[in-house]
Structure 1
């Protein structure tokens, strides 16, 4: 079994809940209430800064230039098309500056703290553990509903297409392969730390979806 499959299996119910959440189902159907989407986007946008720092830290700690290039290319997507998607969605959904910058919800604070912890650890494997969860969860829910329904507004449809398809599949395959590659050389203690980081990230992903759906 691949190490990343082992980690996913360890996450158990949290992983299943995060990748089959009713929030995602209703988003794909176009039935998600817009107030829930507004809450979600405003909270999710608060992740971007720490995610960029985490991904940049992983790039800096990659073993070789070849190992860093796919992450650098993905960083350009996050700071380019994905960032623009948020700004366009805020405008389309009538969200003023106050609506775009609400107080952070508890899962938002938790995941931002986890990303900051991983980025500052100086340990590539811990950075990868969080990155793999963050992106693999999204690929897992978005792939079954891609391509999106033709009548979906862009703030639903593009959130699916940003997280599915060949390009994003390549991102997740790259991140998983990096973690799979470093796993055999880790000590038992280090593997346990990676497992703990992965499980914390998966639980926070589930809690974030739950909070968005309850908003």
Structure 2
């Protein structure tokens, strides 16, 4: 049985993928012991990331070779601008972070590093390069939610202040979006020559490492 394109990328970057999807930030979040300051910092930086994510979808529209790809990019951009950013602002308000504070948040270096890497990769490469650079976020968060739910140490319900975050990414809507993204990548990686697979692996590995740095920076905010 042949390994799918996305699973092949994961297998070639196994150590980096494990470091990202099993990070201490996530373990503490699952237990409910993550310091409030660390999570608030994450929420503020994630707001900035969403804005760059929208730009990535705009770039995907420009890079789209087919009408179907163009429509997919448009739907992604529309979802972020019309829905996700609003929901994020509302969620942040529950954590004591106003929209004005979000808009004034300075961008941390790990945020800059990952988002600019994604955009630069998309500008230099093709649509597949861009999707692979985004995959650790789009597909990774769905896997992370499933992993958290499978751990014996995970606390769910009102006892965990981060329960709503876990619920967001375990939702069928998000899981379906992740599956759709993986299917898109799998279809376009089928039959690619080894040299092209190696290039995509390099993109995936670097994007995964930068996502790991995105977790780590929030822990550095705490004493």
> TM-score under structure 2 normalisation?
0.82
The answer on whether the counterparts of 1:4 and 1:179 sit within 8 Å (CA) in structure 2 is yes
Q: Which residue of 1 aligns with 2:199?
A: 193
Confirm or deny that 1:156 pairs with 2:162.
yes
- 1:53 alignment partner, one of 45, 52, 55: 55
Q: Distance in 2 between matches of 1:133 and 1:211?
A: 17
Aligned length: 214
CA shift digits 1:142-179 (9 cap, x unpaired)? 123459822067x7333223322322222222222222
2:114 is aligned with 1:111? yes
TM-score by length of 1: 0.84
Distance 1:211 1:166 in 2: 29
Partner Cα distance (2:170, 2:73) in 1: 17
Task: Give the equivalent residue in structure 2 for 1:3.
Answer: 5
Out of 164, 179, 196, the residue aligned to residue 173 of structure 1 is 179
Residues 161-170 or 38-47, more deviating: 161-170
Within-5 A mapping of 1:29-68: 29-68=31-70
The Cα shift of 1:72 comes to: 4.0
Q: Secondary structure at the match of 1:162?
A: helix
Residue segments in structure 1 that go unaligned for 5+ positions in a row: none
Structure that is richer in helix per residue = 1
Q: Distance in 1 between matches of 2:165 and 2:67?
A: 30
Q: Structure 2 matches for 1:119-158, cutoff 5 A?
A: 119-121=122-124, 123-145=126-148, 149-151=156-158, 156-158=162-164
Deviations 1:104-146 (A, max 9, x none): 2221111011121133235011111112121122111112345
